[in-house]
């Protein structure tokens, strides 16, 4: 269910969650019951930029988990191990 923002001239902004077919241009204020107007705004959805521009889905998910405070546990490094030098030892 989408969240719609309304603004009462006396009480200020409030949010109202309702179905898309039930969303009207006006709604009563929950505090003073005065009719209010719905506010329209543009969402900030677009392609990722910055350091995550070329990141894959798993990398973006890992960053989102870290930002949310969820613990991010990683295992041992994957890939080929480098050979130990066979020369003299100090």
For 56-71, what is each residue's pLDDT tens digit? Answer: 787 778 777 777 776 6
- In 3D space, the residue among 27, 21, 22 whose CA is nearest the CA of residue 5 turns out to be 27
pLDDT tens digit sequence for 14-40: 888 878 777 777 888 988 989 888 887
Q: Coil, strand or helix: which one is 41?
A: coil
Domain definitions of the chain by residue range: 3-39
In whole angstroms, give the CA distance from residue 36 to residue 14: 10
pTM of the predicted model over 0.75: no
């Amino acid at each position: 269910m989408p969240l719609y923002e309304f603004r009462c001239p006396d009480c200020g902004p409030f949010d109202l969650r309702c179905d898309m077919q039930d969303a009207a241009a006006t709604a009563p204020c929950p505090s003073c019951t005065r009719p209010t107007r719905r506010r329209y705004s543009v969402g900030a959805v677009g392609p990722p930029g910055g350091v995550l521009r070329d990141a894959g889905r798993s990398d973006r998910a890992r960053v989102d988990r870290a930002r949310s405070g969820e613990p991010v546990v990683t295992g041992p490094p994957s890939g080929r191990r480098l050979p130990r030098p066979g020369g003299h030892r100090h």
